[in-house]
Amino acid sequence: MAHVVFHAACFYEKNGTFTNAERRVRRIKKAVNPPGEVLADWKITSRLAGAMGYNMDYTGPDKIMDEIARTPEYKVCAVRVSTMPEQIG
């Protein structure tokens, strides 16, 4: 039995992106609100990092994508999550 459980939103309960097995970045569009106290993965990670003393002061998927786009492999992704096409790559 787990001592800690993080209630993470499933893919249709959040906005963001994922990289598939073909290394293509795909956009996720929120279709419904998550139930109860369920959070998007980025919020869980940010809060956990903050609790451990590392400030991840993100305000949403766009800010995270800005940081990801600074890496050479994802330079093509220098777009806003909210305005990006369905697929890049």
CA-closest candidate to residue 46, choices 57, 38, 37: 57
Q: How many domains does the chain have?
A: 1
Assess if residue 4 is contained within a domain.
Answer: no
- The answer for 34, left when phi > 0, alpha when psi is -120 to 50, beta otherwise, is beta
What confidence score (pLDDT) does residue 80 get?
57
What is the pTM (predicted TM-score) of this model? 0.71
Q: What is the largest CA-CA distance in the chain?
A: 42
| Beta-sheet pairing, 87-88 with 16-19 | unpaired
pLDDT in tens for each of the 89 residues of the chain? 889 899 999 988 998 888 888 877 888 888 999 999 999 999 999 999 999 999 998 888 888 888 888 888 777 665 555 565 555 55
Inside any domain, residue 2 = no
Boundaries of domain holding 69: 11-88
User: Looking at residue 3, what is its pLDDT?
Assistant: 93
- DSSP E strands, 11-74: 16-19, 25-28
pLDDT at 85: 58
